[in-house]
Amino acid sequence: MRLAFIANNDLPGLEADARFAAQHGFAGLEFNYWGDFAQLERETVVEMRRVLDRHGVGCCMLGLWGWNHLAPDPQERATAHAMLQRAIEYAGLLGAEVLTTGGGVAVPGNLQANVDEFLGVFPPFLDAAHAAGLATAFYAVHGNSFFDTLDAYEAVWEHRPEVTIKYDPANWQHAGEDYLAVVRRHGDKVGHVHIKEHLYHAGDLASQPAAGMGDIEWGKVMAFLYEHAYSGYLSFEPHGPLWSRPPLREKMLLLSRKHLDQFLL
């Protein structure tokens, strides 16, 4: 397993993050976009790749978030598909290993309808990503994605077994799901891992500090990842109003690394 973290998307911020990654032994950086992906230009992506190459840091994942690829409205769907096709191109330019996006929602609350629509819409994009050397991972439980339970993934795997999970234990936990059951049962289907901590107090999500300072049982997560021979990235996600920005962001990255190091060979 290799370590990475979510980088800033602006070029000055990326320059600083790539330098930090190289200095502290992170093998990769991850990039995520929501609606702002529509404004990302190819020339910027080319420059991002130059920054990574200059510092000897890879791109572990490109994420496209929030776009509804199964939208009932034809124009919304067409726009989302154009963004997805662009994401495949840009991920290739960055040398990314994984492309992550949501499954979309065609009919809210109707699993079978969403699975059927996914299987009708996504195969050309899955094939295009594969041809570009990209694994495809789908995030769960938020952001225009019908993948909100393991049942959704299992229904798709019957037809497209190459689909993988972008696994974030904290997100599954916050959605009220058993995050350890996900990786115990289907660790072989995990394509990318986010390391994000949740600290609950008095029933509230009180903080999102460094790994090991909250409620996620990282040793157990890592045990199941090893049992399923996971060999991808562990990507640290600075999150929340305090730990995602200075002065705590770099502390979060280094403290998380210190905690995870005990489980790495």
Residue range 16-40, pLDDT digits in tens: 999 999 999 999 999 999 999 999 9
Q: How far apart are CA 257 and CA 58, in angstroms?
A: 18
* Amino acid in position 65: W
**What local confidence, expressed as pLDDT, does residue 129 receive?**
97
**What local confidence, expressed as pLDDT, does residue 110 receive?**
97
Helix-strand-coil percent breakdown of the chain, rounded to 5? Answer: 45, 20, 35
Q: How far apart are CA 265 and CA 125, in angstroms?
A: 36
Given a contact cutoff of 8 angstroms between Cβ atoms, the answer to whether 100 and 139 are in contact is yes
CA distances for 138 relative to 116, 152, 189, 216, 220, angstroms: 16, 11, 11, 21, 22
**What local confidence, expressed as pLDDT, does residue 190 receive?**
98
pLDDT along the chain (265 residues), means of 10: 97 98 98 97 98 98 98 98 98 98 97 98 97 96 93 97 97 96 97 98 97 98 98 97 97 98 96
CATH superfamily, domain at 2-261: Divalent-metal-dependent TIM barrel enzymes (3.20.20.150)
Q: What is the pLDDT of residues 212-263, one digit of tens each?
A: 999 999 999 999 999 999 999 999 999 999 999 999 999 999 999 999 999 9
**What local confidence, expressed as pLDDT, does residue 151 receive?**
96
Please report how the helices 150-157 and 111-121 are oriented relative to each other, as an axis angle in degrees rounded to 10.
Answer: 40
Beta bridge mates, 200: 205
The model's pTM? 0.95
SS3 assignment for 98-129: EEEECCECCCCCCHHHHHHHHHHHCHHHHHHH
Domain ranges of the chain: 2-261
**What local confidence, expressed as pLDDT, does residue 108 receive?**
96
**What local confidence, expressed as pLDDT, does residue 143 receive?**
87
